[in-house]
Amino acid sequence: MGLSMQHSELAKSASVNPSFWNGKRVFLTGHTGFKGGWLSLWLASMGAKVTGYALAPNTAPNFFDVVHVADDLEQSHIADIRDLEKLQKSMASARPEIVIHMAAQPLVRYSYANPVETYAINVMGTVHVLESIRNLDCVRAAVIVTTDKCYENKEWAWGYRENEPMGGHDPYSNSKGCAELVTSAYRQSFFSPEKYAQHKVAIASARAGNVIGGGDWSEDRLIPDAIKAFEAKEALMIRNPLATRPWQHVLEPLSGYLVLAQALYQEGAKFDGAWNFGPRDEDARSVQEVINLLITNWGSTASWTQDQDEQPHEAHLLKLDCSKARQYLNWVPKWTLEQAIENITQWQQAHQQQSNMREMSLKQIASYQNS
């Protein structure tokens, strides 16, 4: 990759730069999802011209509608990433300078029930995005978002580095490992760093931990399930209380994607390849620790109990090594797990009270940027 500590001024300051994003044309897949909604709002608040491409939100309520994300977008295409022709037309009309690919089937348990759909979206969807980029001359930087679960999980105590083997026991994790291999193959075949001067496209993949935040109503996720139970004044059923995950507030990896996109755009192929954006080691905690923290913030009516039914395989221990992002992008997590849970509680309770959730979300983004 040719990175060195002296390679640029960029390494000295790697915060998200609003003036960089002002006026940039950004094509964002998955903009109606939980992470995509937060990223759309953040980009638009900095003046980026965002074109979104995704299926309609799959829950009611959902962050995208509650926060009125569509109001600030240049275009919002409600369409399927599996439709190559439609994707190519949408991207060609938007003429993006930066592409961020987040559209995915993101759930492990759903992938067991729907493996073909999971592979079609996560693998061929990635192929379609990269193929669409290949046919345009306007794109300068692309960030392909996968997951920490793309690694071949050996259940060991230290974090996975970007050069560890891809794997994945379940269809979801495996499909994301495949998406990483697709990204690597397209980079080597069509966007090689050696020929950057000719094609001028820098492509990176980004792997984040277990993302949590206000406004997530996804099925079969710990925090949304907990909040649903707490609001109904019922005990939360937990499948695997001792499973350890790298928990992080949604704004943490999003800041990593934005900083990475800035570096790719400004400095090109030096920053291509794979990047981990996970929390600090001390924030890789067990499910029961996270829920107990949430209960402390939520109030006395909240409680949990263990689900005794047999469950499909999920990894017990998974951590990311983020040394590369820290050294070369100067990216570090800002919020502790305690701060993340506090912000989630404030967001969800404000929503219960029918507050202005757009204002609330922008306030949390500003608070994160300034911390």
**Rounded to whole angstroms, how far apart are CA atoms 351 and 357?**
7
**Rounded to whole angstroms, how far apart are CA atoms 53 and 69?**
13
CA 133-183-152 angle, to 5 degrees, is 160
What's 50's DSSP letter? E
- pLDDT bin (cut points 50, 70, 90) of residue 3 is low
pLDDT at site 309: 66
Maximum C-alpha span of the chain: 62
What's 122's DSSP letter? I
pLDDT at site 12: 42
Q: What is the mean pLDDT of the chain?
A: 91
pLDDT exceeds cutoff 60 at 271: yes
**Rounded to whole angstroms, how far apart are CA atoms 8 and 23?**
24
DSSP 63-121: HHHHTTGGGG-SEEEE--TT-HHHHHHHHHHH--SEEEE------HHHHHH-HHHHHII
- Token pair of 157, please? 């105590």
Strands 244-249 and 284-286: antiparallel
Place of tokens 């993340």: 340
pLDDT exceeds cutoff 50 at 79: yes
pLDDT at site 1: 44
Kindly list the domain boundaries of the chain, sorted by start residue: 15-209+248-281+317-334
Averaged pLDDT, 165-177? 90
Among 290, 312, 316, smallest CA distance to 227 is for 290
Residue 182 CA: distances (Å) to CA of 165, 188, 203, 205, 258: 14, 10, 12, 10, 22
Averaged pLDDT, 28-44? 98
Among 185, 207, 258, 228, smallest CA distance to 28 is for 258
Classified as helix, coil or strand, 282 is helix
Q: What are phi and psi of 131, to 5 degrees?
A: -65, -40
Interior/surface letters 263-286, b for 16+ CB within 10 angstroms, e for the rest: bbbbbbbbbbbbbbbbbeeebbbb
Decide: 94 and 25 in contact? Cβ < 8 Å. yes
Alpha helices in the chain (DSSP H): 18-21, 34-45, 63-66, 84-94, 108-113, 115-119, 125-134, 171-190, 196-199, 222-231, 251-267, 287-298, 323-324, 337-352, 357-370
pLDDT exceeds cutoff 80 at 300: no
Averaged pLDDT, 304-332? 80
* pLDDT tens-digit readout, 101-118: 999 998 888 999 999 999
pLDDT exceeds cutoff 70 at 313: no
**Rounded to whole angstroms, how far apart are CA atoms 358 and 105?**
26
- pLDDT bin (cut points 50, 70, 90) of residue 153 is confident
pLDDT at site 290: 93
- Token pair of 286, please? 């067990």
Averaged pLDDT, 342-358? 96
**Rounded to whole angstroms, how far apart are CA atoms 189 and 187?**
6
Specify the range with the lowest mean pLDDT, choosing from 128-142, 193-207, 309-323, 336-350: 309-323
Class of domain 15-209+248-281+317-334: alpha beta
What's 271's DSSP letter? G
- Which residues are CB-neighbours of 221 under 8 A, at least 6 positions away? 107
pLDDT exceeds cutoff 70 at 4: no
- pLDDT bin (cut points 50, 70, 90) of residue 310 is low
Q: Which percentage of the chain shows pLDDT scores above 90? A: 74
